[in-house]
Copies of this chain bind each other. A is one copy, B any other.
Amino acid sequence: MSSSLEGRLATLSITPIEDKTDDGSVVEIKHYFFKPKPAASSNSAIKLLVVLAEVSKDIGKATALAKQLGYKDLRAADDGQVKDVLGVPKSQASLLSIQADHSQFIHLVASSTLQTAHCVSFPNEKHSTEQDLDEITGKTVVLKGTDAKRFAESRECAEFSEVEFAERGEPQPAAPKAAAAPTAVKEPKAQQGKARTAEEEEIHELGIHAKKLEDFPGWYQQVLIKGDMIDYYSVSGCYILKPWSYGIWEVIQRWFDDQIKLLGCSNCSFPLFVSQRVLEKEKDHIEGFAPEVAWVTRAGSTDLEEPIAIRPTSETVMYPYYAKWIRSHRDLPLKLNQWNSVVRWEFKTPQPFLRTREFLWQEGHTAHLTKSEADEEVTDILDLYRRVYEELLAVPVIPGIKTEKEKFAGGLYTTTVEGFIPASGRGIQGGTSHCLGQNFSKMFNIVVQDPSAKEGQELPPIHVWQNSWGLSTRTIGVMVMVHGDDKGLVMPPRVAQLQVIVLGVGITVKTDAEMRQKINDKCKEVVKQLRAAGIKAQVDDRDTHTPGFKFADWELRGVPLRLEIGPKDLASGSAFSARRDTGVKAPIPFDSLVKDVSALLDQIQSDMFTRAKKTFDERVIFLTEWKDFVPTLNKGCICAVPWCDVEACEDAIKKKSAEETAEAVVDERAPSAGAKSLCIPFDKKRFTDKPASEYKCVKCGQQAKHITLFGRSY
């Protein structure tokens, strides 16, 4: 029955499309192979399930697909199982390799949108059969979507189904619908059997299945999704901030907003859009952002006369107006801030909160008469950033200055608070406060007359000194990474949306109605007392769940303190408390409940910071010899080293550390990136009492200028 692919296509009057593989309109097809376990009612002759879907589609969980197609179970088929049916291993098998001599063992499942695609491509390593292996392996075959569907139908597999798959990153439909099957093709029984109850599903789905120290990326993803912080979104690199995380941002906003208003800042709103000409006014600056700028080129069905950019940051958006508004030194300082979102269309792998294509932040933009005034504000703001991390999020940071290489594009110097993620051993930039110097004011002609000019004296105009500073929702991601554990989130009390969860416990079938009522009433009373004192408390009186489930649920969501109230607690006149951060349990007398809970929340906040600080301190290693550098990185630490301040040397450190890492690495999962400079800490005595100049640069051996932090980073 062997026949060439060309022959098989020709039978159906299908002509492959040539030279279209670089065209964006060609949709690539991915194949999935499953070994089905048939349900009683199903076709038990089927040995292999072949699923065809666009690479952009998420075929969902095997269990859901099995249910939908009427199987008891589906398991990924191994090479042997695929070869048994198709005659070739998985790597060479595709729709195009299905032939009549084995099609009776195959259930072919195609994405329902396949036929609406203009062209689909079958990847080059696939679609071989033993018979025509040499003939077509290595070629990418491109067919019209309709032809692909026709070809699939023509394979006369035992069963053929079309299924509506969701786009990757978008929620799976609650009950995916099988699309209408083509006539004369058998439709397997789908949608049968009862779905799990919501409750069963919830219990099944509740826990985090990845360990923080074993699979940190998997853990991070699960803790954010299951902890109710975010959801994935159908536009790649964008995420939904659910109230549980957005509320943290609201706490940060209100605190920081109050602080900057005390510094004389006002809020305002500049447009989302910026014209190309204005965006590109400052050369160094735009070079830093150009590859990530998103462009609007069309409105409705009308092409815009010129494309308009979405702001990646607002320097060039705002400063033409600063030039207009600042007419005299009496208009200085000008201190404006915005709470908005910006778009940086990065092509690197996105990470919720850490690297996203749209993110929320505040951006402050100020103008000053003198450099010293600008300098002072840069550090004032940086200290507020430090306090957001340390006082609100209980996350320690190291304030310092960025190297020339790492500073803000177009600015004079950049200060930063650098955080550290122990689980990955990587540094992370927490927030930056830039002094822009006079570069932008010269570019945008923001000048005032020199107020020191005497009557009649003409002095050259002064270009104002500018700062810009920004703090984003990245803060939330850092907080999660630092504090979370294998049970889920751990929220610092000051930013937690819910600080105390109160539950009734110890209720059994034997508990009488009166006692149930008493427990219920006491829970409510406690919540009322706590709320009256400004503590965010809530009672969990769901009668659909066991206390055990509820404990796990609130631990997953990171609520700092749990209070249990049962018959014994009522008898002893106390609630039984459990700390989320340490797991420590202790009774709290009802008499002093509000005072004690309030003190305990403060203690938790402070303990969380102290523990995180201790870890950070232990993981920043001062070293002076290059031989210790990569081994220190490989221990999950960051390095404080004497360094010469020369950019070429910074590049060499990155390159060399990457190379040495690659040599040393046995464990594939270990990070392979080289070390970047993180900052030159302001605290010069933190690592050594001697001045840096008494050391040689760790890399090049020249006289060191500064003790500088280097590390792998986000």
Contacts and interface: CB of A to CB of B under 8 A. Distances in A.
Interface in A263-303: 266-275, 277-278, 290-303
A471 interface: no
Interface stretch (A125-133, A230-238, A548-556, A650-658): A230-238
Given A173-B445, A235-B271, A250-B267, 9 more contacts: A172-B324, A231-B321, A233-B270, A234-B275, A239-B271, A240-B269, A243-B336, A294-B298, A330-B542
A297 B298 contact: yes
7 contacts: A231-B324, A234-B275, A238-B271, A243-B268, A273-B357, A297-B298, A298-B307
A275 B268 CA distance: 30
A241 B269 contact: yes
Contacts of A270: 233, 240-241
A310 interface: yes
A462 to B, nearest CB: 13
A303 B345 CA distance: 12
Contacts of A445: 173-175
Central interface residue in A233, A250, A269, A274, by most chain B CB within 10 Å: A269
A171 interface: yes
Contacts of A303: 24
Contacts of A174: 323-324, 327, 445, 447
A358 interface: yes
Interface in A328-345: 328, 330, 336, 340-341, 343, 345
A589 interface: no
A593 interface: no
A191 to B, nearest CB: 13
Contacts of A173: 323, 445
A347 B296 CA distance: 16
A49 to B, nearest CB: 26
A689 interface: no
B268 A198 contact: no
What DSSP secondary structure best describes chain A's contact surface? mixed
Interface in A366-380: none
Nearest to A170: B320
A341 B297 CA distance: 19
B293 A268 contact: no
A102 to B, nearest CB: 35
A577 B631 CA distance: 74
Contacts of A142: none
Contacts of A307: 298
Contacts of A325: 231
Contacts of A241: 268-270
Nearest to A356: B271
B246 A268 contact: yes
A692 interface: no
Contact of A234 (B167, B170, B242, B278): B278
Interface string A477-497: 000000000000000000000
Contacts of A542: 330
B300 A345 contact: yes
Contacts of A202: 327
Nearest to A277: B167
Given A300-B292, A300-B345, A328 B271 contact: no
Interface string A225-266: 000000101110011111100110110000000000000001
5 nearest A-B pairs in the assembled complex, by CB-CB distance: A243-B266, A171-B324, A299-B345, A238-B271, A291-B300
B240 A271 contact: yes
Contacts of A247: 266-267
Contacts of A267: 243, 246-247, 250
B298 A295 contact: yes
Interface string A24-64: 10000000000000000000000000000000000000000
A332 to B, nearest CB: 12
A295 B325 CA distance: 32
A249 B340 CA distance: 14
A514 interface: no
A327 B201 contact: yes
Interface string A1-40: 0000000000000000000000010000000000000000
A305 interface: yes
Nearest to A360: B269
